[in-house]
Amino acid sequence: MASYKFLLLGDKVHRILRKMIAFVLLIFTVALIYFVAVKPYKYWSNRRVKTGKFVPIFGNNAGVVLGTESFADTTRRIYNEVQDVRYYGVYQFQLPSLVLKSPELIKQICVKDFDHFLNHKNALGGDVDELWSKNLFTLKGQSWKDMRSILSPSFTSSKMKAMFTYICQKADLFAKHFIKMKGDVIEVEFKDAFTRYTNDVIASTAFGIHVDSLKDRENEFYLMGRVAGNFGTP
């Protein structure tokens, strides 16, 4: 009889333990869902900032992740989703981001108050490539300030006007290259053609070098630029 009672007691304890474990797992699951799929997406509503449609976990990037939208289409949709506002909030997965729509606000942030917005989100690791890690989109803090001070004098209104002249000259060469072909149908590899045009514009506006990469396809400036654009890979 004592053994029977002990077995019943053990079975009862076992059932209680299973219920407790199930309850703990339920609480853990609910908490996990809250902290992963609910709380991060209250960031903008808690700050009374408008948001568009988003999907928990994916944020506003569900279309790109699921393959139903290209990155360009997603960017266009996000920008046009909320109208008649100066700014509104979106979520890059769980990361809250602010979309600026007012030209005046963009100008204030990028020009007048630029020193309060030093750091960009870095898509590349700081040590991925020695050349690309030194551009304004990857530098942070004082290094960003120093580089901006170096580059700013190159983009005054007078120098931009001079650059525009060079850009037009290269565009004219670009058009004449294909006009000379005089064919009813001209097949063009756009990536190659516009890469070469961009290369020629950079050569003339930034380095004062005249090259025609559509005609001289293996010129040294283009070859060096291609190496730099491939992050140092052959």
pLDDT value for 199 = 92
pTM greater than the 0.85 cutoff: no
Q: What's the sign of the alpha-carbon dihedral 147, 136, 165, 211?
A: positive
pLDDT value for 1 = 53
pLDDT value for 156 = 87
* DSSP-assigned letter for residue 47: T
Q: In whole angstroms, how far apart are CA 157 and each of 151, 160, 193?
A: 13, 5, 29
Domain edges within the chain: 2-42, 49-128, 156-229
- Four-CA torsion 185, 188, 194, 200, nearest 10 degrees: -80
136 within 8 A of 151, measured Cβ to Cβ: yes
pLDDT value for 167 = 93
List per-residue pLDDT tens for the chain, 234 residues long. 545 454 555 566 667 777 788 888 888 888 888 888 888 888 998 999 888 888 888 888 888 888 888 888 888 888 888 888 899 999 988 889 889 989 999 989 888 887 777 777 765 555 556 666 777 777 777 888 888 888 888 888 888 898 999 999 999 999 888 888 877 777 888 888 999 999 999 999 988 888 899 888 888 888 888 877 665 444
pLDDT value for 231 = 53
pLDDT value for 169 = 92
pLDDT value for 233 = 47
Nearest to 225 by CA among 197, 187, 185, 188: 197
Can you tell me the distance from the alpha carbon of 76 to that of 131, in angstroms, rounded to the nearest whole number? 30
* DSSP-assigned letter for residue 21: H
pLDDT value for 234 = 46
pLDDT value for 232 = 46
pLDDT value for 127 = 59
94 within 8 A of 81, measured Cβ to Cβ: no
Nearest to 170 by CA among 132, 221, 135: 221
pLDDT value for 146 = 83
pLDDT value for 9 = 54
- Return the beta strands (E) in the chain as ranges: 87-92, 95-100
Q: What's the sign of the alpha-carbon dihedral 178, 181, 185, 191?
A: negative
pLDDT value for 68 = 87
- Four-CA torsion 21, 23, 27, 30, nearest 10 degrees: 110
pLDDT value for 128 = 59
Q: In whole angstroms, how far apart are CA 212 and each of 26, 186, 209?
A: 68, 19, 10
Task: Look at the block and give the residue holding tokens 């474990």.
Answer: 21
